[in-house]
Amino acid sequence: MAEYKPIRKVVSGNYAAAYAVKHARVEVVAAYPITPQTSIIEKIAEFIANGEVENLEYVPVESEHSAMAACIGASAAGARVFTATSAQGLALMHEMLHWASGARLPVVMVDVNRAMAPPWSVWDDQTDSLAQRDTGWMQFYAENNQEVYDGVLMAFKIAETVNLPAMVIESAFILSHTYDVVEMIPQELVDEFLPPRKPLYDLTNFERPFSIGALGTPADYYEFRYKIQRAMEKAKEVIHEVGKEFGERFGRDYSQMIELYRTEDADFVFMGMGSLMGTVKQAVDVLRDEGYKVGAAKVRWFRPFPKEELYELAKNVEGIAVLDRNYSFGMEGILFTEAKGALYNTNAKPIMKNYIVGLGGRDFTVSDVRKIAENMRAIIEKGELDVEVDWYHLKR
Amino acid sequence: MNTLFGERKEGATKIVLKSVDEYPEAPVTLGTTLTNFTGDWRTFIPVIDDSKCVKCYICWKFCPEPAIFIREDGYVGVDYDYCKGCGICANECPTNAITMEKEEK
């Protein structure tokens, strides 16, 4: 193994994604431009125009639905495939997302989290990706540009091992258009980490033709659904192994599906996903100095959901403040529902409160985390909730 | 049976998978076209009157399944294993050589 010397580049989250696509030696990209995803595919097109990549076919399409359809066809033929989208574009893909996961095709996509319209919004909000929860796609939420780059590389390896598609999710503008130092991995080391894809079935084998997506009667459909669930369960092990291997090779360990930050002796923790958690970690440092025993639990993988890791965390804390930059109307924040549900049949019963924050790109700062910490401390001392779901920013 | 698509493969048996582990990982070919006879779904059956047939093959062109075939004598036949009884052939036939009759099972 060659010695690892990272290449440091100052790039936006979108460019980090594009570089990861280049380094992963992706063979087909099909995408349609949508703000704030556009600069990902622009950068990929630039790589092709400059001759910086070999054997990469860019398929310009007329909609996101077609983009995913093209990806599915290319992936079925055995290629390593990538696309990127945001919000309304992801919603337009929804129908095709099921075709990718149902046919067990390891397509990898970057979704740049953006609020759903109306009102028309291009800013950060997780509802677009979380609305795709039940499509059979794995979901990785990146906190920063480095995690976008690492996430895409790992997503290919994990997806191609369990034969399920994966989404790497980054925040609109907060990551997508903000420049930061990203440590990139030299090509030959990426090649060692990520060998060429071995498809489950090779559609280009003309000796044994077969069909994909043909009729499945009630006698057969059920078993295929179970197989997807089994692959999701296996994905938890694969995520652990690949994340560990990534840490050993490149120094950044992703073996845990929930990243714990200063939770060892914490009375209560903040739980959330994505770029939000960068702010929270910074706030935890400030709060620790002020005498709060708090920590942060960043959910990296939302699908498959890290039930077991959540249980281990919940056993040892008195409260969990779930920060949701998303909402399921008629219920509550989506991560909150999932986390509560995962713990229902366990002995862990921390007080859990849902804070709805940052919808549509509303600013969420360290001082907001402090206010939430004060509120959580009061709740824990009293032993009961004031409200279960708190629309934190609401102008009252 | 001789069809436009060549000899039907004799001896094809329906694949019956008994446990989840026998299933392929992805839903690829389950042998449906060879063994899953979609003609089972039919209520009405097309009956062809050769004396009215003018061999225009419009029925053959319009059949959404490959259920109509051209016999060696030039007239048309129906592959009842796959005909779903949709009636398009009867509707399109210019000489009314095809009638749809309720199938007795």
Do A179 and A69 fall within a single domain? yes
**Cα dihedral value A10, A15, A20, A22, nearest 10:** -110
The pLDDT value given to residue B4? 40
Q: Alpha helices of A199-294 — where are they, by DSSP H? A: 221-250, 276-289
Show the low-confidence residues of chain A (pLDDT under 50).
none
Which residue out of A198, A207, A210, A222 would a mutagenesis test of the B interface target, given it has the greatest number of B Cβ atoms within 10 Å?
Answer: A210
Do A226 and A301 fall within a single domain? no
Joined together, the tokens standing for residue A395 give 């102008």
Residue A105: closest CA among chain B residues belongs to which residue? B26
The pLDDT value given to residue A372? 98
Angle at B82 between CA B76 and CA B84, to 5 degrees: 95
Q: What is the mean pLDDT of chain A?
A: 96
Half-sphere exposure of A37 (CA within 13 A, CB side): 23
- Dist CA A82 CA A67 (whole Å): 10
Do A244 and A267 fall within a single domain? no
In a domain, A2, yes or no: no
> Does B6 have pLDDT greater than 60?
no
Which residue out of A220, A221, A230, A234 would a mutagenesis test of the B interface target, given it has the greatest number of B Cβ atoms within 10 Å?
Answer: A220
In our burial notation (b when 16+ CB lie closer than 10 A, e otherwise), range A77-111 reads: ebbbbbbbbbbbbbbbbeebbebbbbbbbbbbbbb
The pLDDT value given to residue B13? 62
Partner-chain contact B25 A104, CB within 8 Å: yes
Which residue out of A163, A208, A211 would a mutagenesis test of the B interface target, given it has the greatest number of B Cβ atoms within 10 Å?
Answer: A211
Do A210 and A292 fall within a single domain? no
CATH number assigned to the domain covering B37-102: 3.30.70.20
Nearest CA distance, A213 vs chain B (angstrom): 6
> Does B3 have pLDDT greater than 80?
no
Domain boundary among A250, A270, A294: A250
In a domain, A97, yes or no: yes
Which residue out of B17, B20, B25, B40 would a mutagenesis test of the A interface target, given it has the greatest number of A Cβ atoms within 10 Å?
Answer: B25
Partner-chain contact A212 B27, CB within 8 Å: yes
Residue A270's nearest CA partner among A302, A228, A298 is A298
Convert the pLDDT of each residue in A28-84 to its tens digit.
999 999 999 999 999 999 999 999 999 999 999 999 999 999 999 999 999 999 999
What's the Cα-to-Cα distance from A308 to each of A229, A233, A265, rounded to whole Å? 16, 11, 19
Do A188 and A321 fall within a single domain? no
The residue with greater pLDDT, B8 or A273, is A273
CATH code, A265: 3.40.50.920
The pLDDT value given to residue A15? 98
Joined together, the tokens standing for residue A241 give 């192994």
Domain boundary among A220, A250, A280: A250
Asked whether the beta carbons of A175 and A11 are under 8 A apart, the reply is no
Do A161 and A267 fall within a single domain? no
- Specify the number of domains making up chain A: 2
Kindly list the residues of chain B whose beta carbon comes within 8 Å of any beta carbon in chain A.
17, 20, 23-30, 32, 36
CATH code, A46: 3.40.50.970
Q: Which residue segment(s) compose the domain that A372 sits in?
A: 258-391
**Cα dihedral value B26, A162, B20, A132, nearest 10:** -70
Helices (H) and strands (E) in chain A, counts: 12, 15
Q: Which of B20, B29, B36 sits opposite A223 (nearest CB)?
A: B20
In a domain, A396, yes or no: no
- Dist CA A291 CA A363 (whole Å): 25
Task: Supply the DSSP symbol for B61.
Answer: H
Residues 220-259 of A with CB under 8 A from B: 220, 223-224, 226-227, 231
DSSP letters, A150-201, are HHHHHHHHHHHHHT--EEEEEETTTTTT--EEEEEPPHHHHHHHSPPP--SS
Name the residue ranges covered by the structural domains of chain B. Answer: 37-102
| Interface membership of A204 toward B (CB under 8 Å) | no
| Interface membership of A195 toward B (CB under 8 Å) | no
> Does B31 have pLDDT greater than 90?
no
> Does B5 have pLDDT greater than 60?
no
| Chain A residues within 8 A of B32 when measuring between CB atoms | 214-215
> Does B1 have pLDDT greater than 50?
no
* Torsion A190-A192-A194-A196 (CA) sign: positive
Q: Which of A200, A216, A231 sits opposite B30 (nearest CB)?
A: A216
Q: Which of A103, A215, A220 sits opposite B26 (nearest CB)?
A: A103
| Chain A residues within 8 A of B20 when measuring between CB atoms | 223, 226-227
Do A246 and A308 fall within a single domain? no
Partner-chain contact B27 A201, CB within 8 Å: no
| Interface membership of A207 toward B (CB under 8 Å) | no
Q: What are phi and psi of A30, to 5 degrees?
A: -125, 125
Q: What is the pTM of this model?
A: 0.88
Residue B39: band (very low, low, confident or very high) from pLDDT cuts 50, 70, 90: confident
